[in-house]
Structure 1
């Protein structure tokens, strides 16, 4: 993959996950006990041999910059190539929305890169993917653009890009739909193309009034390109809503999902923090849960995820919940179907309970 440069686009919309993304980018939301969402796309690129990666920053980049820093934890702090930050394009005279403006204003970085291909991915998907077979597929088919998709295993509601393909993978139709059904081919927002194709697409589409790369650059110009689709048959989750975030974290508690994402040949890297091991006191009882370093457990934890530095008091019962960093769940509390953001304190004998499909959300730094 030395001929491929990567771009991770951090432009996921916040409207359906506002409670968790109010003060951070969607892609920097904590996930699975110690990771951030961006770790999955970035680690997959690094594991595939991509050594030149551009991060298309959101309009509020602080949380992303704090997490990625120099890229050292992903082996991208390099003298040559490595990690590059591509700033969000703020232009008061140009009120166009969409991601195309950001690509257009950073074309100089792309054009001056020596790689032949561009691999574009969104940072709000959870997967562990090897991109090398996709490059070979792209070269063997002679495609202008290769899109990656997965086959939906169940019906779901939410805006999705659905593909229709021929038996050989040739894309015959691309459409945006409000719901998907079992067997639908759903795009993962991963695109591979030659750099010259990407640069021409961005420049022409933007200069002719386009706003969105997919809608204006690919779908509306689909007859100008030969587009093929490659199927990824592993675990995938798109974190575009609070419900999707909660479900994906609960999925991680299934051993087969955990093993596929984190125990295979390719690791998922994240920002390293040295913490002491978990302290399980005599009264602790933990079942089917992920508990990160630095936690102190005195109560019951079942089917839940505790991030670094969480304290669980005596006679506490936590079930089907997500407690982020430095949470303090004090004695006698009951927490079920709840998402607690960072630095939340639940004082003694409080009961918090959400619904399995609509978890209760406690925002950052709140004391209850």
Structure 2
């Protein structure tokens, strides 16, 4: 493909509460066996983009560990590859990334050393499947300066997103970032296509004017000066930038049509593979409408829930409408309902957790790994 990829995975979000205390949003576990960034990486690979840069910053340890080998997404090749860029101190600069535009500016040499004419920019917290080739073809056909991939949402809080309005020709006329009052239900998905030389020019101008945000300081600022078009998608798309949306996105995978779309329809979503035994169901285990990942041992009742890798469920446990992250030990007679249990937690026997007024995030640290 005639494009390189940039995945913005450096931000934090207070809406994720305790879940983002020890990991980047792009490293959040999804659907039992995936991480959020797997979807953007797989879309890049499936679109035959051979050269991809991931810009990381906040709590990047587990994300960097996940990206330690590029072979899982088929980027381990002589031409191109997967590049991980973190903030670095140089003789000219000692700042952290101060925004999305500044993150690109601090790694501008990556763009200058490339020869592909176009750049596909994506965020690391989107759950979707998309052929970027179709967006690029649309971008060229419209002779656009920037193409923004967008979608319609119904009944969702649009104040978390960039809200836009297009004319009959799909040119963007209005664009507001996280507005208090929304005039449209069309939102930006955080995916953009732009010509490489133009991106370099706009990013350098932002840096000269001490501006740091790609949306506010490029898309919104230049919407009347540049030809900025919207490319609307109507397939599944979700963003996990809040606890509520993270919970809803995972629960969507309990629907057969969503599982079929992501797991059985080509192209596939790839992820790093762990060598774990299959889940084990002991006598007394009862499972209803749930996703159980490799390495789990189940002794109790699990209903409408997602259990990630290496979860142990004790005797007489009841888990309902909940998400249990990786490597959690649930003691006997524990009741978990409407909760997200943080990874590597040890829940004592006879515990009771229930999210009555929303989703409860359970973080209970008891030492299992002591000498």
Q: TM-score range by the shorter chain?
A: over 0.9
Post-superposition offset of 1:252? 1.4
Residue of structure 1 in register with 2:37 after alignment: 38
Separation in 1, partners of 2:211, 2:364: 37
Report the alpha carbon displacement of residue 367 of structure 1 after superposing the two structures with TM. 6.7
TM-score, length-scaled by structure 2: 0.93
Give the whole-Å Cα distance in 2 for the aligned partners of 1:249 and 1:43: 18
Q: Distance in 2 between matches of 1:178 and 1:8?
A: 24
Task: Confirm or deny that 1:127 pairs with 2:128.
Answer: yes
1:333 is matched with: 334
TM-score (norm 1): 0.94
CA deviation string 1:24-48 (max 9, x = no partner): 1111111211111111111111111
SS at match of 1:27: helix
Runs of 5+ unmatched residues, structure 1: none
How many residues align? The count is 366
Whole-Å separation in 2 of the counterparts to 1:20 and 1:103: 26
Contact 2:117 2:196 in 1 (8 A): yes
**Pair 1:276–1:179, CA change in 2 (3 A):** farther
Q: Which residue of 1 aligns with 2:237?
A: 236
Which stretch of the first structure deviates more once superposed, 9-18 or 297-306? 9-18
Q: Cα 1:301–1:88, aligned 2, differ >3 Å: closer, same or farther? A: same
Q: Assess if the C-alpha contact under 8 Å between 1:154 and 1:181 holds in 2.
A: no
CA drift at 1:363? 2.7
The correspondence of residues 216-295 of structure 1 with structure 2, limited to 5 A, is 216-295=217-296
Moved more, 187-196 or 159-168: 159-168
- Structure 1 residue 297 corresponds to structure 2 residue 303: no
1 CA distance for matches of 2:89 and 2:28?
23
Q: CA deviation at 1:63?
A: 1.3
CA–CA distance in 1 between the matches of 2:89 and 2:214?
17
- Report the Cα offset of residue 177 of structure 1: 3.5
Check whether the contact 2:125–2:239 (CA below 8 A) recurs between aligned residues: yes
C-alpha deviation, 1:182, in angstroms: 10
* 2:324 paired residue number: 323
Query: Within 1, Cα distance between the matches of 2:270 and 2:180?
Result: 32
Aligned to 1:358: 358
Are residues 298 and 62 of structure 1, via their aligned partners in 2, closer, same or farther at CA, if it must alter by over 3 Å?
same
> Could you say if the C-alpha distance between residues 117 and 95 of structure 1 is closer, same or farther in structure 2, counting changes exceeding 3 Å?
closer
- Given that 2:4 and 2:52 are in contact with CA atoms closer than 8 Å, whether structure 1 keeps it comes out as yes
SS of the aligned residue for 1:230 comes to strand
**CA 1:90–1:263 in 2, change beyond 3 Å: closer, same or farther?**
farther
The range that moved more, 304-313 or 88-97, is 88-97
Partners of 2:325 and 2:343 within 8 A in 1: yes
What's 2:308 paired with? 307
Contact 1:251-1:257 at 8 Å conserved across structures = yes
State the secondary structure of the residue aligned to 1:192: strand
Q: CA RMSD in A?
A: 2.0
CA distance in structure 1 between the aligned counterparts of 2:293 and 2:180, rounded to whole angstroms: 35
Q: Is the 8 A contact 1:289 1:303 kept in 2?
A: yes
Which residue number in structure 2 is paired with residue 106 of structure 1?
107
Equivalent residue number for residue 98 of structure 2 = 97
Partner residue in 2 for 1:6: 5
Distance 2:256 2:214 in 1: 37
SS of the residue corresponding to residue 223 of structure 1 reads: coil
Partner of 1:162: 163
Cα gap change, 1:198 to 1:243, in 2 (>3 Å): same
Find the aligned partners of 2:14 and 2:124 in 1 and give their Cα distance.
Answer: 16
Corresponding position of 2:15:
16
Alpha-carbon offset, residue 214 of structure 1: 1.0
Q: Does 1:26 align with 2:29?
A: no
1:26, 1:159 → 2: CA distance?
15
Give the superposition deviation at 1:364: 6.9
Alignment check: 8 A CA contact 1:160 1:180 kept:
no
> Quick one: distance in 1 between partners of 2:19 and 2:226?
38
Q: Matches of 1:232 and 1:151 in 2, distance apart?
A: 8
3-state SS of the aligned residue for 1:17?
Answer: helix
